Structure 1
Amino acid sequence: MAGKFEAFVDHDSFFRFRLLAPDGTIMAISGPFDSKTALAAGIAAVRECAGTGLVTDLCPAGTVARQPPAAVPASAAATVQDDCDDRRVPASGHTFSLANGPRRQGSRPRWVTAAAR
């Protein structure tokens, strides 16, 4: 299963999207957009550029990654209160779909003239 995009309205009333991995992990959150049209264009740009993006390694040589923290036992997790005010999900529960059908794979180059079609 592929990842997916989730559109939402943030606490400042801007449109944003999240890129989710197949397991539901948030991979990226977009910057703010003023309209759903701009949001859809931003998602389209990410879809178009993501597969062809170059990777630039800015990590210092010899850097060792830290180990992830140990899992918290279920009994200890139950005693911790979650006082975060997570405003990333719109209160109205609206969902946003970009397409009415499956996405076309591959398209003609944009620079093809009408006479060449």
Structure 2
Amino acid sequence: MAGHFEIFTDSESNIRFRLLGADGTVLAVSKAFEDKRSAADGIMAVRECAGTGLIRETHSTPWGGTTWTRSSQTVRPRTRQRRHLPAV
């Protein structure tokens, strides 16, 4: 059986959805939505983007934020194109 989405109400009465793997493992949890229709729209957006989404590496900063790294770009020659990895 493939993974699936669940729409649920969290402990603070917010509507959210989660993506579960085939074995029931929680793979992702959404932001809070105002109603079930908005959560369903969010699921549709994830379905559309999941197959084509690119993977981008970020690094955490000491204060908890994230920053994009550019150091790997300076090491490579400018003539070489960056490869994009497919979403898993």
| CA RMSD, 1 decimal | 1.5
1-structure distance, mates of 2:33, 2:57: 29
1-structure distance, mates of 2:32, 2:51: 23
Name the structure 1 match of 2:19. 19
Name the structure 2 match of 1:36. 36
Structure 1, unmatched stretches of 5+, are: 61-117
Shift of 1:34: 0.4
Q: Report matched runs for 1:80-91 at 5 Å.
A: none
2-structure distance, mates of 1:47, 1:15: 18
Q: What is the one-letter code of the residue matched to 2:34?
A: D
Q: What is the one-letter code of the residue matched to 2:25?
A: T
2-structure distance, mates of 1:7, 1:37: 10
Aligned length: 60
TM-score (norm 2): 0.63
2-structure distance, mates of 1:15, 1:58: 28
Q: Secondary structure at the match of 1:47?
A: helix
2-structure distance, mates of 1:57, 1:33: 27
Name the structure 2 match of 1:96. none
Note the alpha carbon deviations across 1:54-77, whole angstroms, 9 max, x for none: 0012369xxxxxxxxxxxxxxxxx
* Larger strand percent: 2
Percentage of pairs with the same residue: 55
Q: Report matched runs for 1:1-117 at 5 Å.
A: 1-58=1-58
Q: Which structure ranks higher in relative contact order (CA pairs < 8 Å, sequence separation ≥ 6)? A: 1
Shift of 1:12: 1.4
2-structure distance, mates of 1:14, 1:34: 7
